[in-house]
C-alpha cells in the first residue's frame, strides 16, 4: 500500500491505496465521494469525469497514485459557497438536462471544463466536446441546450425536447 495525499474540493485528503487503485475508486470507496460515477469499464462513458489540476480527466483512466499531490475537483465541490446550485447545475435543472441523472456529474464536470476554455461555445463545439460523455437516456439535446444557457447565450430559439 502507498499513501497518497491530494486536495479534493479544497480539502486535504489522504489514504492508503494499492498501485492498481483507480482515482475513481479512491474517490468513491475511500473518500465516499460517490457523485463520481462509474458507468463502464472501457473508459468510454465519461460518468467519472473530474478535474485534476484544472483539467477534465476520466477518473477511471488514472491511478490514485498518479493524482498524488494534485488538486482534484469533483461534483460534490461544484455548488456555490451557500449551497445553491452553480450556474451549470442550475441550467441543467432549468432546461431539463437530465433524466435518470447517472451521466450528470460527468456532464457537469465536462461542461465546466469546456466553459473555462471556451466561454461561449457554439452548439457544434458543445456537441464535439461531449464526444467522451455518454447519456444512456439520450438526453443530449437538452444537455447541450443547458450548457449553452449556462454560458449566457440565448437558447430560446433552440426547441425544447
What residues numbered 99-158 form the site for ligand FES, per CB under 6 A? 99-103, 135-137, 139
Q: In the complex with ligand FES, which residue's Cβ is closer, 70 or 146?
A: 146
**Residues pairing with 13 in the sheet:** 6
Residue pair 53/73 in contact by the 8 Å Cβ criterion: no
Stretch that binds ligand FES, among 4-12, 25-33, 95-103, 108-116 (CB under 6 A): 95-103
User: Dihedral of CA 24/28/30/33: which sign?
Assistant: positive
Q: In the complex with ligand FES, which residue's Cβ is closer, 44 or 53?
A: 44
Nearest distance in Å: CB 141, ligand FES: 12
Residue 26-65 contact track with ligand FES, rule CB under 6 A, x = bound: ------------xxx--xxxxxx---------x-x-----
What is the rounded CA–CA span in Å between residue 7 and residue 5?
7
Tell the burial category of 58 from Cβ atoms under 10 Å away from its Cβ (0-12, 13-18, 19+).
buried
Nearest distance in Å: CB 25, ligand FES: 10
**Residues pairing with 11 in the sheet:** 8
**Whole-Å CA distances, 72 to 115, 122, 145:** 18, 28, 27
Q: In the complex with ligand FES, which residue's Cβ is closer, 40 or 65?
A: 40
Q: In the complex with ligand FES, which residue's Cβ is closer, 55 or 119?
A: 55
Binding-site size, ligand FES (CB under 6 A): 21
Element (H, E) at 15: strand 11-17
List of residues contacting ligand FES (CB under 6 A):
38-40, 43-48, 58, 60, 98-103, 135-137, 139
Amino acid at each position: 500500500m502507498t499513501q497518497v495525499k491530494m486536495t479534493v474540493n479544497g480539502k486535504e485528503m489522504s489514504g492508503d491505496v494499492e498501485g492498481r487503485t483507480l482515482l475513481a475508486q479512491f474517490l468513491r470507496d475511500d473518500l465516499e465521494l460517490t457523485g463520481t460515477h462509474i458507468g463502464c469499464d472501457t473508459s468510454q462513458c465519461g460518468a467519472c469525469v473530474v478535474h485534476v489540476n484544472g483539467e477534465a480527466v476520466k477518473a477511471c483512466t488514472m491511478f490514485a497514485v498518479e493524482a498524488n499531490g494534485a488538486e482534484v475537483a469533483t461534483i460534490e465541490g461544484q455548488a456555490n459557497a451557500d449551497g445553491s446550485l452553480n450556474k451549470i447545475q442550475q441550467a441543467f435543472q432549468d432546461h431539463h438536462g437530465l433524466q435518470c441523472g447517472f451521466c450528470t456529474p460527468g456532464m457537469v464536470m465536462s461542461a465546466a471544463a469546456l466553459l473555462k476554455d471556451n466561454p461561449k461555445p457554439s452548439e457544434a463545439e458543445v456537441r464535439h466536446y461531449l464526444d467522451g460523455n455518454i447519456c444512456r437516456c439520450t438526453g443530449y439535446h437538452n444537455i447541450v441546450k443547458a450548457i449553452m444557457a449556462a454560458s449566457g447565450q440565448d437558447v430560446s430559439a433552440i426547441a425544447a425536447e
